[in-house]
Amino acid sequence: MTKKVRIERVAEFIREEIAKLLIDGIKDPRLGFVSVMKVRMSNDLRYADVYVSLYGDEKQRKSSLIALQNSAGWVKSMIAQNLHMRYIPDIRFLPDDSLERAYAMEEVFNKIHQERSTLPFLRLELSELIEEILSSNKIMITTHERPDGDALGSLIGLWIWLEQKGKEVIPLISAPVPKMYSFLPRSSQIRHLEEDKLPRWDFDTVIIVDVASTSRIGEVNKYVKPTHKVIVIDHHETLDANGLMGYANSSYSACGEIISEIYINTDVPFSKESAIALYVAIATDTGGFRFSNTTSLTHQITSTLLKTGLDLEEINTRIFESFTKEQFELLRRILSRTEFTAEGKVSYSSLFLKDFQETGATLEDCHNLTNFLRDIENVVVGVLFVELERKKTKVSLRSRKVFNSGEFMMRLGGGGHRCAAGGTLDMPIDLAKKSILAELESSLKTI
């Protein structure tokens, strides 16, 4: 059978199957009267564009098309039962009238996007997650903005696993990899949206690691289309009803732990490269295995990673014992300005706009410097005030477990975890300092 004949046969088969399903299969009340006109297959047989005639007025036709688009996944699974092919093509319904098609499609896709965004999060089991990923072929992987060690380590770890499984992978983030993580294997190959010339990427699936929403991936979100399958892998507690599906389990200390589980459950051995990436993911999210999220499983997985012979000392030096010159200059200023209040339970310091101008440091360089304020004897809360603009101040808190920083900052419009939180106040730094310290003093009276 020539390739052309084969493509035509598959198209004809799909047309017949969908015509049958349209009669009594799709139960969506929005589906009006439609008929399948033709099916056009992509040359690699991965996609089937199904052209349908829609009847009724404009509103009815649109709602029929939305119903069809939303049923595409189900239609694909029904066809899969009778079509004996290695890959079942993705189904795309298109209106047969070419008039203003581009415009109409965009509107329909937007509508589908909106409808999906209010559906509950669909939780998968780990085995279902793996199956779901393996059924995709061209995959874009991404993570949240301002990625940390877990975000980047998980992304790289997953990338290597996907390659082992023969998948085509596009690792894409919104901004360049932060300097401190440039030592990670493959970090220079991660694509970002600030590159001069971006290619036209072609993928069918998007996997997001270390965050469970498309709104936190920055500009990369623009590349996620309603036709893409979106899969999430995350370990945070909060899950939005955003219609996404994936594996979310907050019993894991790091997303890197979940990625490691994927290797272990599919018998893919860790290479030194993947082990370094995943070790960095786990070590950074557990604060070097010190935070309370560290479990026995964390250590078991890490033990497996260490068997690849990675250089523990070198990596730990990079992630825990390295300052950029700019960070050091900021720290020097923070420490020299530190003061105490609330009987020594609160330590605080400030950074001003001129500090950033003089040192060439950026806001990113402040990352975790507040820890030094909390680490002093008797201190319960360390606070760093950073002047962002004349009337805008960033406040970051690091606390001991007895004080809930997240709750405290939430009352002031910020947020975070129990021991690390922050927020931005629309007031000059002096005023922000006064009001936060007064609040803290009264909150700490009982502690």
Chain residues binding Mn ion by CB under 5 A are 150, 210, 255, 285
d(CA 49, CA 35) in angstroms, rounded, equals 14
- Write down the least CB distance from residue 235 to Mn ion, Å: 6
Nearer to Mn ion, 150 or 387 (CB): 150
Q: Packing angle between helix 312-320 and helix 272-285, nearest 10 degrees?
A: 40
Token readout for 227 is 């036709």
The 8-class DSSP code of residue 123 comes to E
d(CA 62, CA 436) in angstroms, rounded, equals 53
- Write down the least CB distance from residue 210 to Mn ion, Å: 4
d(CA 246, CA 230) in angstroms, rounded, equals 8
d(CA 106, CA 45) in angstroms, rounded, equals 24
- Write down the least CB distance from residue 150 to Mn ion, Å: 3
- Write down the least CB distance from residue 136 to Mn ion, Å: 23
Q: Are strands 34-41 and 47-54 parallel, antiparallel or unpaired?
A: antiparallel
- Write down the least CB distance from residue 307 to Mn ion, Å: 23
Nearer to Mn ion, 204 or 210 (CB): 210
- Write down the least CB distance from residue 320 to Mn ion, Å: 16
Determine how many CB atoms are found less than 10 A away from the CB of residue 216.
Answer: 16
d(CA 139, CA 205) in angstroms, rounded, equals 5
d(CA 63, CA 325) in angstroms, rounded, equals 59
* Residue 382 one-letter amino acid: G
Q: In Å, what is the CA distance from 341 to each residue of 371, 382, 435? A: 17, 10, 13
Nearer to Mn ion, 17 or 150 (CB): 150
Nearer to Mn ion, 285 or 355 (CB): 285
Nearer to Mn ion, 91 or 319 (CB): 319
The CA-based diameter of the chain, rounded to the nearest angstrom, is 86
Report the SS3 class of residue 231: strand
Nearer to Mn ion, 53 or 249 (CB): 249
Nearer to Mn ion, 136 or 274 (CB): 274
- Write down the least CB distance from residue 406 to Mn ion, Å: 16
Nearer to Mn ion, 79 or 209 (CB): 209
Report the SS3 class of residue 426: coil
d(CA 263, CA 161) in angstroms, rounded, equals 7
Nearer to Mn ion, 94 or 255 (CB): 255
- Write down the least CB distance from residue 265 to Mn ion, Å: 20
Determine how many CB atoms are found less than 10 A away from the CB of residue 202.
Answer: 9
Residue nearest to Mn ion (CB): 150
User: 289: left (phi > 0), else alpha (psi -120 to 50), else beta?
Assistant: left
- Write down the least CB distance from residue 204 to Mn ion, Å: 26
- Write down the least CB distance from residue 281 to Mn ion, Å: 7
Burial of 4 (0-12, 13-18, 19+ CB in 10 A): exposed
Determine how many CB atoms are found less than 10 A away from the CB of residue 101.
Answer: 12
Rg of the chain's alpha carbons, rounded to an integer?
Answer: 26
Nearer to Mn ion, 52 or 155 (CB): 155
